[in-house]
Each structure stands twice: as C-alpha cells, then as structure tokens.
Amino acid sequence: MRLRLSPRDVGVLVRATSRRGPTLAALAEAAAARFRDRTALVVGDRSWSFAELWRRAERLAGVWHRESLDGPRTVVVACEGAGLVVSLLAGSRLGLDVWLAHPGRVAALEHVIPDDALLVHEEDAPAWHRGPTMPAEQALARSDEEGGPLADTSRRGRLVLMTAGTTGTPVPHVARQFSVWGLRQLRSLHERIGIASTDTVLACWPLHQGNGVQLVAASLLTGATLVAAPRSRPHTRVRLLLERGATMLSGTPTQLGRLLDHLAETGETPPPVRRIVSGSEPLDARLVARLHDAWGPIVCNAYGTTETGTVTVASPDEVVAHPGTVGRAIPGTQAGIVGHPTGEQAEGRVWVRGAGRTIITDDRGRMDDGRLTILGRMPAGPDGD
C-alpha cells in the first residue's frame, strides 16, 4: 500500500521538518495540522486528538522550560500511555535527548541515566535521583495549562531506547529512528504493512519499546488511531478490539497466543481485523495455523533491533508459504548473514542495517531467495563467534 500525500500534506510536512528537523516533534506538528480533531491515541476510556496531543506537548514543553530545565538536559520517560507520548513529544519539541525506560524498572536506572536528567515516572520518585522529577499524571495535567509562547530551537535531540530493561541492567542505545534514514524507513514499513489513515491499531507493545515508538510515529504519519493496551489482559484486548472497531492488531507471538487461548476458552467469535503484525519473538508454524484459523491469512511477521528499528517484514503471502520467515528487507534497510554477500543463500549469524547503522546480532538465521528466517540465538562461546 503506497503512502499517498496531497500537495498540502507534503507542504505541511516540509515546513514542520524544516523547523524541527526529521523528528517526532515535526511529525506531531504536521499531524496536528493535517488531521486536527481525528482521534490519535486511545488509552483505556480516554482519547486524544492529533491537535490535542501537539497542543499538550507544546504546553508541557513550556512548563519544563520555565520551571525545570535551566539548560539542556536529558528527559527520561519511565511511564506508559498518554503521559509517555506527551512527554516524548515535549522533549522532542525542546530539542532534548529523550530516553524511554520500562516504568516498572526505575530502580535499575540509578547508575544508568544522567544525574541531572528530568525523570517522568509512574510510582514514587526514587530517592537516589538528584535531578528534577515529575509524576506522569502531573505531566499530563500540567500539559493542559496555558503557557506563553515557546521559541523554536535549532537543537535536534536524540531518541534513546533501553535494552535488557526487563531482567538485566538497562543499556541505553541511541535509536535515531527519525533521522532522514528513519523517516524513509518508517514510510517503507508503512507501505509493507499497509497502515491506512482509516485504520485503528490495537498495540499490545509497550510504547517505551522500539515497536511501540514506531507505531506512535506511524500514527502521526498516516493519521491512523493508536489504541495502546500494553498491560491489558486478553479479555480487555478483545473488548477493545470490538468497542474501538480496531482494524489492525499488533503484538508478540506470546500476546497473540494468549488472545487465541482466551477466545478458545470463552467460545467468543474473533473480532474482525484486516491485518495482524507479529514481532520480537519467533513466530512458529503452529501459531500461524491458529491465527489463520481465527482470522485468515492476514498475518505479517516483522524483525529488527532496538538500534535499527524494523528491518524485514514478511507479507501475509510469505507467512502462508514460509511460516517461520521474517521476510525481506524493507526499502532503506538491509539484512544478511555475516561472511556472505548480501542476499546470498547462507546460514549463520544475522546482520542488519537500518536507521543509518549496521548491527551484528546474536541471532542465527538463514537467508534463502532474499527471505530471512530466524533459527534461534547463536550459541555462547568460541563456536558462536
């Protein structure tokens, strides 16, 4: 599905990008002008339009500029939902580096984040943090305050995502998903998966992870509605699919499998969706068969890394023919096997290129006719090097 932009849309995007660079702030400002009162984000029973998200981001940026940020600082966002989105956009609006962290793993950030960072958090503020703090609900409330004009900034902040943030010590990685490379990659991802402005996407991903951020950006680019449900139980996700009229479902194979288990246990009819996007874990043939039995051959399978963003996507037809594949590289990215020419049939350690960088992964894969299949993790030790 090609991303079609009217001359007006192109003009709005060009003007926003010229002011703010290829950043999330530019996408949000352009989305506010293009889609205005269309619903952008749904969290629980609350919703926000594209215009409101940008207005709140500008107001919160003004509050931070006046009260908390006496100079360029890092903003660490350790929350979910609208608090994350508005804080992320506010930091981008100010041209600051924004780090996204697991809200349940704040204690693990003590020796990771800058001492003077502004920390937006869900629970009580940690006693060890020396910089300013703000609860997520307070950030969202203060984003509704009227503020004075905020000057443009020539600074372009970085987006930093954490890896190993669930079990081990979080490690920061600059994502750079919204550089010139990142915008091209985002457009390619949209066209491979086929997100349309009329879509409502139920996201099971946490928004602080790379897949979640990509869905936020895709919504801002296309005008699709994003329903965030990262901590919801299967029965709640089924209800959201029905109540919100979701047309797309995105999550890990584990999350999709639990959703199928719930439907099987209750005997409920699977809510109608036109596309399912799986990623972050291996998608085996058995789960593919169950998803196809419930919804038909509408499953895409995506693969990438925190540093590069999504690099390959298997189309529904490829998933039908080759259930384990993660597909071919989307335009603007590459993938291959270490020690072999790009695209050559081979098996071994996987490397990927996206968002302007190349990463040698710890995954073992097979390249066959341009399609990548992930076979598991590389063994530890010299034999795996």
Give pLDDT tens digits for 169-203.
Answer: 777 777 654 554 556 677 777 778 888 889 999 99
pLDDT at 41: 96
Q: Quick one: which of 181, 7, 11, 170 has its CA closest to 102?
A: 170
What is the rounded CA–CA span in Å between residue 171 and residue 299? Answer: 31
Decide: helix, strand or coil at residue 304: strand
Q: 120: Cβ–Cβ under 8 A, 6 or more apart, which residues?
A: 75, 76, 77, 78, 79, 83, 87, 133, 134, 135, 136, 139
pTM of the model: 0.89
Give the tokens for residue 149.
Answer: 């004009």
Q: What is the pLDDT of residues 102-143, one digit of tens each?
A: 998 898 898 899 999 999 999 888 999 999 999 999 999 999
Cβ-based burial of 58 (10 A; exposed 0-12, middle 13-18, buried ≥19)? buried
326-362 burial, b at 16+ Cβ within 10 Å, e below that, comes to: bbbbbebbbbbbeeeeebeeeebbbbbbbbbbebebe
* Cα angle 257, 215, 300; round to 5: 45
What is the DSSP-derived secondary structure letter of residue 104?
Answer: G
- Taking each helix axis as running N to C, give the angle between helix 7-20 and helix 24-35, from 0 to 180 degrees, rounded to the nearest 10: 150
Q: What is the pLDDT of residues 57-106, one digit of tens each?
A: 999 999 998 887 766 689 999 999 999 999 999 999 998 999 999 998 89
- pLDDT above 90: residue 355: no
- pLDDT above 80: residue 384: no
pLDDT at 225: 96
pLDDT at 383: 46
Task: Report, in angstroms and rounded to the nearest whole number, the Rg of the chain calculated over CA atoms.
Answer: 20
Percent of the chain scoring above 70 in pLDDT: 92
What is the DSSP-derived secondary structure letter of residue 164?
Answer: S
In the block, residue with structure tokens 């091209």: 184
In terms of DSSP H, where are the helices of the chain? 7-20, 24-35, 50-67, 81-93, 136-142, 180-193, 210-222, 234-243, 253-266, 285-295, 316-321
